[in-house]
């Protein structure tokens, strides 16, 4: 492999990995509080369509990004109302959110199919642009979301593991009864975790439409939401490991694009399968060892101890 190819791969990995990372971080926070949102796919779609529509309508990508984050947060609050307040089954509620996202994003984005937008601005620090190999690729030519992705991951890790709030969130995810007995309010913490997760999910979706593709099309997330659910498991519910996981999968996506662009003999349909197959393989490989890392209360409904 040549250096430009490797650098191109890396650049692509970082670009596609960005939205995966934000979504993984969001889902990690939610799952740490004991709630699995299988409807993340729907949240991503809502983020992508709201971000795109608002940008197309206002001409301002920052406004679009903000709206996408808000929409993601609100959608997750609706999910929270079902699973926390109404104590509905999490998997079924997640699938309901998935359908809601399918429909709502199609409705929101319908008017802007084919619209042309100016996406999030990208820049490359001038001192980096000096390197010969860098110049030839998109490496280091990133938008704000990509530039701050890793700091955000560190911030999420810090909030979960070094703050009083994070301790409460993790305690609720392990055992709501113990957290309750310790004077924490599990429902409030879960709502907080879900809204953080929703905002990050909305941003992740917006990054797809506002930076990566600059278009809106129905079902454009193509199962990334489900891949992210697997990435959370793969990264053992740890925001720092999530960086590596997102890069790995971003790399797989980028490799697939590079091969298609270079006219590889392998059919594009087979290449398109690779992220899903890779996800399954990783889940299988992780199968035995992941049980200890999962929050013990994940997916269970807490009925209070009164």
Partner 1 sequence: MSSPLAAPLVEIRGVSKRYGAVQANDVVDLSLYGGEVHALLGENGAGKSTLSRILYGFTRPDSGEIFLNGKAVDVHSPREARSHRIGMVFQNFMLIPALSVLENIALFLTDLPAVLRPEAVGKRIFEFGERFGLTVNPHAPVRQLSVGDRQKVEILKLLLAEARILIFDEPTKVLAPHEVDALFRVFAALKAEGFAILFITHKLREVIRCADRITVMRQGRVVGGFGSGQADVETLVTMMFGERGEIGATRQAGATRRPAEARPILELRGASSHATGSETPLRGLELSIAAGEIVGVAGVSGSGQKELGDLILGLRSLSAGSKWFCGANASSWSIARMRESGVAFVPEDPLVMAAVGGMSVRENLSLGTGRRYRSGVRLDWSALEATMNQSFEALAFPIPPLDPPIGALSGGNLQRVVIAREMAHEPKLIVALYPTRGLDVRSAASLRHLLRRARDGGSGVLLISEDLDELAEMTDRLLVLFGGALVGAFSRGAWQPEEVGHLMTGSKEVNVA
Partner 2 sequence: MPEGGLTAVLRRSTALRTTVRHCGIGVGALLMFAAILLAAGKDPLKAYVDTFHYTLANSYGFSELLVRMTPLLLAAVAVALPARLGLINVGGEGQLYMGAFMASAGAFLLPTAPRLILLPFVAFMGFMGGAIWAAIPGILRAAKLVNETISTLLLNYVAPLIVSYFVFGLWRASENSAYPQSSPFPDAALLPSFFNTRIHAGLLIAVVALLAYWLLLEKTRWGVDMRAIGGNAEAAQRLGIPVPAWIVTALAVGGGFAGLAGMGEAMGIAGRLRQGLSPGYGFAGFLIAWLAGGRPLGIVFMAFLFAIITSAGDTLQMTQGVPYAVVNILLAMILFIVLARRSAGGTSK
- CB-nearer residue toward partner 1: 10 or 171: 171
Question: Going by C-beta distance under 8 Å and a sequence separation of 6 or more, which residues neighbour residue 151?
Answer: none
Q: Which of 170, 207, 224, 241 binds partner 1 (CB under 8 A)?
A: 170
From CA 302, how far away is CA 236, in angstroms rounded? 23
The CB density around residue 14, as the number of other CB atoms within 10 Å, is 22
State yes or no: residue 164 binds partner 1 (CB under 8 A). yes
Least separation, in Å, of the C-beta of 245 and partner 1?
20
Sign of CA dihedral 10, 259, 24, 26: positive
Helix (H, G, I), strand (E, B) or coil at 288: coil
Residue 188 in contact with partner 1, rule: CB under 8 A: no
Task: State the greatest distance between any 2 C-alpha atoms of the chain, in Å, as a whole number.
Answer: 67
Yes or no: say if 102 and 219 are a contact pair by the CB < 8 Å rule.
yes
Nearer to partner 2, 86 or 162 (CB): 86
Question: How many residues would you count in the chain?
Answer: 306
DSSP state of 123: E
- Please choose which of partner 2, partner 1, none residue 178 contacts, taking the beta carbon within 5 to 8 angstroms, the exact cut-off set by kind: partner 1
The verdict on 298 binding partner 1 (CB under 8 A) reads no
Q: What are the DSSP calls for 209-233, one per residue? A: IIIIS----TTTTTTHHHHHHHHHH
Residue with Cβ nearer partner 2 (19 or 137)? 19
- Nearest-CA neighbor of 251 among 225, 278, 270? 278
User: Which partner from the list partner 1, partner 2, none does 136 bind, CB cut-off 5 to 8 Å by kind?
Assistant: none
Nearest approach, Cβ of 183 to partner 2 (angstroms)? 23
The rounded distance, in Å, linking the Cα atoms of 228 and 37 is 11
DSSP 87: -
- Of 21 and 36, which has the nearer Cβ to partner 1? 36
Residues 186-208: b if buried by 16+ CB within 10 A, e if exposed: bbebbbbbbbbbbbbbbbbbbbb
Nearer to partner 2, 8 or 42 (CB): 42
Does residue 233 belong to the site contacting partner 1 (CB under 8 A)? no
The residue within the footprint of partner 1, chosen from 114, 130, 151, 183 (CB under 8 A), is: 183
Residue 275 — φ and ψ, nearest 5°? -60, -40
Site string for partner 1, 252-291 (x = CB under 8 A): ------------------------------------x--x
Piece in contact with partner 1 (CB under 8 A), picked from 41-49, 76-84, 105-113, 164-172: 164-172
* Residues binding partner 2 (CB under 8 A): 38, 78, 81-82, 86-89, 91-93, 95-97, 99-100, 102-107, 110, 218-219, 222-223, 226-227, 229-230, 267, 269-270, 272-273, 276-277, 279-280, 283-284, 287-288, 301, 303
**Per rule CB under 8 A, is residue 154 in the interface with partner 1?**
no
**Which residues in this chain contact partner 1 in the complex, by CB under 8 A?**
162-165, 167-168, 170-171, 174-175, 177-179, 181-184, 288, 291-292, 295-296
């Amino acid at each position: 492999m040549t250096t430009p190819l490797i650098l191109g791969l890396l650049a692509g990995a970082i670009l596609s990995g960005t939205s995966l990372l934000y979504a993984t971080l969001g889902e990690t926070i939610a799952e740490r509080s004991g709630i699995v949102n299988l409807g993340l796919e729907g949240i991503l779609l809502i983020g992508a369509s709201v971000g795109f529509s608002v940008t197309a309508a206002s001409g301002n990508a920052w406004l679009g990004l903000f709206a996408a984050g808000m929409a993601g947060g609100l959608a997750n609050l609706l999910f929270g109302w079902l699973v926390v307040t109404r104590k509905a089954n999490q998997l079924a509620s997640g699938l309901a959110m998935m359908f809601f996202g399918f429909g709502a994003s199609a409705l929101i984005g319908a008017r802007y199919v084919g619209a042309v937008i100016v996406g999030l601005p990208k820049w490359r620090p001038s001192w980096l642009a000096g390197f010969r190999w860098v110049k030839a690729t998109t490496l280091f030519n990133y938008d704000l979301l990509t530039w701050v992705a890793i700091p955000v991951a560190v911030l999420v890790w810090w909030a979960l593991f070094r703050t009083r709030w994070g301790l409460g969130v993790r305690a609720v995810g392990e055992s709501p009864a113990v957290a309750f007995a310790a004077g924490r309010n599990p429902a409030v913490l879960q709502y907080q975790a879900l809204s953080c997760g929703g905002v990050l999910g909305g941003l992740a979706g917006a990054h797809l439409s506002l930076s990566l593709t600059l278009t809106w099309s129905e079902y454009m997330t193509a199962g990334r939401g489900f891949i992210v659910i697997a990435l959370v498991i793969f990264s053992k519910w740890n925001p720092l490991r999530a960086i590596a996981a997102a890069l790995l999968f971003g790399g797989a996506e980028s490799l697939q694009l590079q091969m298609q662009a270079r006219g590889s003999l392998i059919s594009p349909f087979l290449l398109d399968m690779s992220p899903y197959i890779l996800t399954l393989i990783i889940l299988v490989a992780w199968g035995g060892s992941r049980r200890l890392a999962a929050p013990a209360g994940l997916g269970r409904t807490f009925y209070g101890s009164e």
